[in-house]
Amino acid sequence: MHLSHTLAYFSDLVVVTAGQVVVKAANFPITELSIDSRNKTTTPFPIFFAIVGINHDGHDYIAAAYEKGIRQFVVVHPYHCAIIEKFNGVNILQVTNTLEALHQFIIFYRSKYQLPILGVAGSNGKTIVKEWMHEFLSRKYKTVSNPQSYNSQVGVPLAISLLQPSHEYGVFEAGIGQTGEMAKLASLIQPTHGLLTNIGPAHNQGFQNITQKIEEKIKLFTSCTTIYYCKDHQPIHLAMVELYGRTKVLVNWSFHNQKADYRVGYKRLSSQTTLQITTTTQRNTFVIPFRDKASIENITHCLVYLLDNGFDPRPLQLSLLQLTSIPMRMTLKAGIHRCQIIDDTYTNDMVSLTIALDFMQQQQPTKRTIILTDILQSATPDAQLYQELADLLVQYTIDRLIGIGPLMCQYKTLFPIPETIFFNGIEEYLSKKPSFKDETILVKGARTFRLERVVQTIEQNNHGTILEIDMHAIRHNLSYFRRQLNVGTKIMAMVKASCYGSGSSNFELASVLQRHGVEYLGVAYMDEGISLRQKGITLPIMVMNPTDDHFDAILDHHLEPEIYSLPLLDALACFIAERSVQSISIHLKLETGMHRLGIAATELDQLIKQLKQMPGLHIVSIFSHLAASQADLHDAYTLLQAEKFIKMAQYIEKQLAIKPLKHLLNTNGILRFPQFQFDMVRLGIGLHGVGVDQTIQPHLLPASKLKTTISQVKSIQKGDSIGYDRKAIATQAMTIATIPIGYADGLSRSFGCGKATVVIQGHECPIIGNVCMDMAMVDVTGLALKRGDEVIIFSAEHPIDRLAERVGTISYELLTQISQRVKRVYYT
């Protein structure tokens, strides 16, 4: 995390943690906190906290942190002897618990500051409310907030460390998943004001019931003088009154309750909403650029807080029209001429820029270009700020800088980048349009510059249908499955079929999985594995369907073939002899009852005979596949398969005197048959948060959202026919909307004639008539819609599993049949 001042000194850390100094080269300042050795440090005196998690241990990365230039370490395990012997000039502090030590340090650091801090909690909307509040407040105050969604037990400390003496206001969100966590975050943030968005179903599994969940969330507000919330959520209101009614000022608002402190009414227009907020003494009307209920509620939270704290409604209205409703996270998009775009156009400051640059470094190695606007509302003087910016870009080896804004132009001589172009404003940039080819382009800027116009000029030309993939959900699901595994059990992530349809290739997800410690990848065909290698994936990769003529390419790209038959093993033996191959890694697939691919029990002796004649083979793993791991109806059959697998694998191990990895379980098997985890499991559809047993679904986050927009709205009369073959005849006057998605995009013809619905403005609207190749028609009678309105095919709130059930298929099929012409957008 980037900072430009001293947080404290090593000696301060020793005192506040009561830790034991193992070695001390000097009383270095502490200028930056690090918990991830993969990220660059950007200040001279960072300190690395070796955090121990459920499935990772920060002590394993101390050497990597040292290589990055870190010389101060907080540790738990007695690894310090090895550190002292290997490294020079280090400070090492040993504590009982490194996460607790990080918290203790941040409590000490937070105590230095006396300024208004707004703490934001809730289940839904807290990140966007935090971002919007930052936007409003920063127009009047020097404001600091969590970068992105740094709201966890580790994220909050990193966010609080960004406080500087020149800051005048803070906005910090706090997120929890179980009891006991919020009290810790409250001691870190110490908010003076509190705001609760609402309480939804996310992370319900960590709480006994909704009441306990609310009570835990509002523990953030222990130190607050005033708390803001919506009175319409009755359980929230009751909990607030019970816990804080006598000790704090409770300010509530409502769409319905006339006794609320702030009464709110709204009216949706064609593309906007008018919002009226009334108290006993004033009435204010605002125009907001949203029509959906969630955005209306989120902006009301902000406006009530701001009005109650004396903000002038007139400048608020100007700020409102510049807000955006898109998810406020970095997105990864395909660009023109084989470019890759990192779209981070909603904010611009040194902290979020550092995060974006770290993300840029994770992408495939290409020319790196950054399009960057002026940094607005910084707490640092301009000359110092832009020198820091120049130094930061040098550290990340940027090949081309395109600067936009008067300040970027004023300080352009500070940037020693190989290629630089500067424009005074966005209009000048758009009139000249620099060219791009084979580049990774980070587009980063303050919202007022409206850089989405820049992104539109360099995106691939696609129709309005988009598949959004939430990488946070992927990481959440990976963590959930890791928690179900025994210590030491490895994960092979299946990234075949373009990662179950989520990828324009399978690189995007594979890159995230590699970064987050998955041990193996599995692909269906050789081409998928080669593509991953060409894009910088270094994890071991198993190829499930190799063919005789692919062994050359498999060997050249360090892939590992699955051997599922004796003839395929014969072909491999011939290849080894012809190429004089010294060593090749393979995976043995056993037939235990799936009756698809695999070596049968009756073939084991012949298999062992052949393997003994091939000393160059390295058998990495022995595995099989369960036929019905999800269905309890077939559990007896699953147990027979497992028994058969154990016997076959043990026989091979004994005969060959080897001890390879063994794996049997897929996603649902991991959850239902933990006794058969063995050495490794194969995680596929579960990473995407769908396709699992319904008892498990509440623990996962669906990662994909398929959406499009309305192309046309038209009225038809009774008796009119709709679509090909006149499959739908209007029985009355009705309104239909045409949407630009058809069976060539993955919207199957089986969806037509009323069998499936899409969601528009929260309403389920049936698809009528036959689905066309590129379009479909939807019954929207009674709704006030227009061209460009969003249409959701499936999302977390409108599950793909339910859609699949309606048309008699499974979520796997719906995901994998989404066409590659559908644009993929990846949210970090």
Residue identified by tokens 């130094």 is 391
Catalytic residue from among 444, 496, 589, 705: 496
Backbone angles phi, psi at 661, to 5 degrees: -65, 145
CA distances from 224 to 1, 132, 140, 193, 221 (A): 27, 21, 22, 5, 5
- Please tell me whether residue 764 adopts helix, strand or coil conformation: strand
Instruction: Name which of 270, 452, 444 is nearest 373 in CA terms.
Output: 444
Q: Is 247 exposed, middle or buried (0-12, 13-18, 19+ CB in 10 A)?
A: exposed
| Residue 785 DSSP class | -
CA 546/CA 285 separation, integer angstroms: 66
Question: By the 8 A CB rule, do 94 and 76 touch?
Answer: yes
CA 760/CA 762 separation, integer angstroms: 5
Decide if 444 is catalytic. no
CA dihedral 615, 619, 620, 624 (to 10 degrees): 170
Going through 628-703 in order, the beta strands assigned E by DSSP cover 661-663, 680-683
Residue identified by tokens 């890159």 is 511
Q: In DSSP terms, which residues pair with 792 in a beta bridge?
A: 707, 759
Catalytic residue from among 86, 647, 724, 786: 724
CA 509/CA 480 separation, integer angstroms: 17
* Helix, strand, coil share of the chain (percent; to 5): 35, 25, 40
Q: Which residues contact 536 (CB under 8 A, 6 or more apart)?
A: 364, 365, 511
Decide if 496 is catalytic. yes
Q: In DSSP terms, which residues pair with 341 in a beta bridge?
A: 333, 441
CA 753/CA 749 separation, integer angstroms: 9
Q: How many C-beta atoms lie closer than 10 Å to residue 473's C-beta? A: 20
Backbone angles phi, psi at 101, to 5 degrees: -65, -40
CA 820/CA 504 separation, integer angstroms: 6
Active site residues: 496, 724
